[in-house]
Structure 1
Amino acid sequence: MSQSISVYESGSLFVRPERLNQITHAFGFALTIPAAIALVSSAVVHSDAATAIGCLVYSITLCGTYLASTLSHSFDDRPAVKDMWRVIDQVFIFSLIAGSYTPFAIVHAPHTAGIAALIAMWVLCIGGMIMRIVRRGKPLTAAEVGYCLMIGWVPLVTLPEIMSTGGIPGFSLVIAGGVLYTGGTFFLMNDHRHPAMHAVWHLCTIGGGMCHYFFLLLFTAA
């Protein structure tokens, strides 16, 4: 995800941090391709069509997020293209927030509360996407980051289903992923203070994504 890096947009400081930002999420994107194939394939083999569709939605949002983020840190010599990808990057962030919960809700929480939470998340995320398009990829404010985090923790309304599905190991994966995403926003919001902080944010998102991915692989698509 691309945030404010204007402090480093001149001189030698710009090239190295921005290249590091590019590399970290390019690495994440490279991991998501085989991971997505494995997840959807497992759902197709071991489960039903609804599970496979849910896992496919999640996989598209996951791969799209890392790809868009990588490209938003590219095209240094083409500002208009870079800005376009920054908007797409931020739109995909919202899609991943809702996409991560989609297969879980379909498979493990197909009751009123679970589906209501899923619908609410997608509605709120679509609102966030529109907001980012209107703001044309401008740096996220603290309120907007808080909005993202609020949506991201909505699945806790299905805590009993999380526990019954994955037990302590599954619950630990869900919470660890949420903590990594949430804690990582500190580095996102302070990336103007040090050129390496944005790359640390990227690593936190990779870690959080891995936690939620393995929950789905082990307990939803299996």
Structure 2
Amino acid sequence: MASQQNPKSADAAADPQELTLTSIPLRHTTSAISAAQLGAAETRVQAAPAVIKPLLRGWLHAGTTPLAIAAGIVLIVLAQGGIAKAGAAVYLACSVLLFGNSAVYHIINWSPRVKQALRRVDHANIFLLIAGTYTPVALGALPLPRAALLLTIVWSGALLGIIFRVFWLSAPRWLYVSLYVGLGWAALFFFSEMLQANVPAMILVAVGGLLYTIGAICYGFKWPLRNNKYFGFHELFHACTVAAFFCHWTAALLALLDPLYLR
């Protein structure tokens, strides 16, 4: 008597390419599904759009760096008195550190490790420039004891801010931007005194402060020009810092040409 053949086995034998899951061992089925899922995940990762920074990122600060060096030298030469010249030198050093490092950090596509280190320096330099800007203005527009008090407050805040950014690089954007703005306006309690000493200089200080604040808001909210190919919100922030720098440089010049402590 001829043996009866399983219909499914006969179909499989007739067409070896038609295989069902029931004809494949379970462990091979699981491996095949896992491999398919892994391949799909890799495809999704490869298809994810890369973050491309605008083409002008960092170039505003690169162009400002030599101007900051020249402006700082002029400020030192024209400042009246040793204390005023020392304040101008501090301003020169802080401004060149900020603009120079920012250009190097933002223009070049660094490895993740180097990029992280430069980002720490970049964000720490913002605190340095805030304190460095206050230094010549306070020394020129306040009595020296009051200038020492203001600079102690501002430089202490800058030091704490630097430590904060160096050791907590992943801090929320809203938090560290708020700290920049808060430290930048710390001199409001001394503003009336400085205004009496030098009105034009203090008007420029206020204008520069507003420009820094507008830039910080654009940076904090990533708005406007969020996805622009050439000039985005970050570049707008940099443009505000450059404009504010020259406002504050002019204010420092006016204050150091006729410092209050020499009157």
TM-score by length of 2: 0.72
Where 1:40 maps in the other structure, the secondary structure is helix
Unpaired stretches in structure 1, ≥5 consecutive residues: 1-8
2:62 counterpart residue number: 26
Q: 2:146 and 2:73 mapped to 1: Cα distance?
A: 30
2:201 counterpart residue number: 170
Deviation at 1:122, TM superposition (A): 0.7
2:161 counterpart residue number: 128
Is 1:207 the equivalent of 2:246?
A: no
Q: 1:89 and 1:208 mapped to 2: Cα distance?
A: 17
Moved more, 106-115 or 84-93: 106-115
Where 1:194 maps in the other structure, the secondary structure is coil
Q: 2:117 and 2:221 mapped to 1: Cα distance?
A: 23
Where 1:90 maps in the other structure, the secondary structure is helix
**What one-letter code is carried by the residue in structure 1 that aligns with 2:252?**
L
Where 1:20 maps in the other structure, the secondary structure is coil
Q: 2:165 and 2:247 mapped to 1: Cα distance?
A: 27
Deviation at 1:68, TM superposition (A): 1.2
2:76 counterpart residue number: 40
Q: 1:116 and 1:203 mapped to 2: Cα distance?
A: 31
Deviation at 1:161, TM superposition (A): 3.2
Change (3 A) 1:20 1:218: same
Give the total of aligned pairs. Answer: 206
**What one-letter code is carried by the residue in structure 2 that aligns with 1:191?**
K
Where 2:92 maps in the other structure, the secondary structure is helix
Question: What is the 5 A alignment of 1:68-217?
Answer: 68-136=101-169, 138=170, 141-167=173-199, 169-191=200-222, 193-195=226-228, 196-217=232-253
Deviations 1:79-111 (A, max 9, x none): 322221111111111011111111222232235
Deviation at 1:144, TM superposition (A): 1.8
Q: 1:59 and 1:113 mapped to 2: Cα distance?
A: 23
Deviation at 1:10, TM superposition (A): 5.3
Q: Higher Cα Rg: structure 1 or 2?
A: 2
Bigger RCO (CA 8 Å, 6+ sep): 1
- Aligned CA RMSD, in angstroms, stands at 2.1
Q: 1:139 and 1:76 mapped to 2: Cα distance?
A: 23
Q: 2:220 and 2:186 mapped to 1: Cα distance?
A: 22
TM-score by length of 1: 0.84
Where 2:227 maps in the other structure, the secondary structure is coil
Identity of aligned residues (%): 29
**What one-letter code is carried by the residue in structure 2 that aligns with 1:146?**
S
Deviation at 1:221, TM superposition (A): 3.7
Change (3 A) 1:140 1:23: farther
Where 1:21 maps in the other structure, the secondary structure is coil
> Quick check: which one's helix share is greater?
1
Q: 1:57 and 1:40 mapped to 2: Cα distance?
A: 10
Q: 2:203 and 2:101 mapped to 1: Cα distance?
A: 29
Deviation at 1:23, TM superposition (A): 0.7
Q: 1:209 and 1:65 mapped to 2: Cα distance?
A: 11
**Is the CA contact (8 Å cut-off) linking 2:76 and 2:88 kept in structure 1?**
yes
**Is the CA contact (8 Å cut-off) linking 2:102 and 2:122 kept in structure 1?**
yes
Deviation at 1:114, TM superposition (A): 3.4
